[in-house]
Amino acid sequence: MQEVARRTLENGCAMCVVRADLTTLEVDAVVNAANPALRGGGGVDGAIHRAGGPTILAECQAWVARSGPLPTGQAMATRAGRLPARRVFHTVGPVYRGPQDAEALASCYCECLKLALEHGCRTVAFPGISTGVHGYPISEAAPLAVHAVQEFLMRHQAPAEVVFCTYDPESTQAYRQLLEPDRSGPD
């Protein structure tokens, strides 16, 4: 895991960006950009299910049997199976249509952070929710994610660290620009 940039807030909570495989991170919880049926699939969702093993799918199927498909912007938790994390927070991001999807995307981050509080998680790692096949431009999604997380951390003083885990140079740079200190001002 290579940390690219970090911002520590006034209350001591931190946000950082790392370029890594989300399924290898040793954090309390990783976030899965899931589909409403919670069945696994492609991208991050498929990678988490493959690496974590059948425990995750079994818990997802039981949840869907009780509650129905997971709505966009909501989140639920499972154990992490064989992943180095303790929990997986599954959330369904919006399929991008335009700026009207910002509220649903922000809700994904906030609902996962609420789960982090409920489960006593000090570290949570997020992928770029909706930035893959759902088509949300990283140039819009990254600032929205950082803002939503920062607002939550300032209100709740937890979790202690939120990781934005990226896999490509464009996403890494988008988060880096948001989390690095402003170097344009006087020294």
What is the DSSP annotation of 115-144? HHHHTT-SEEEE--TTSSTT---HHHHHHH
Could you count the other beta carbons within 10 Å of the beta carbon of residue 26? Answer: 11
- Marked catalytic residue, from 21, 45, 101, 187: 45
The secondary structure of the chain in percent helix, strand, coil, rounded to multiples of 5, reads 40, 20, 40
Dist CA 23 CA 34 (whole Å): 14
Residue 48, SS3? Answer: helix
Is-catalytic flag, 45?
Answer: yes
Radius of gyration of the chain (CA): 16
- Provide the annotated active-site residues: 45
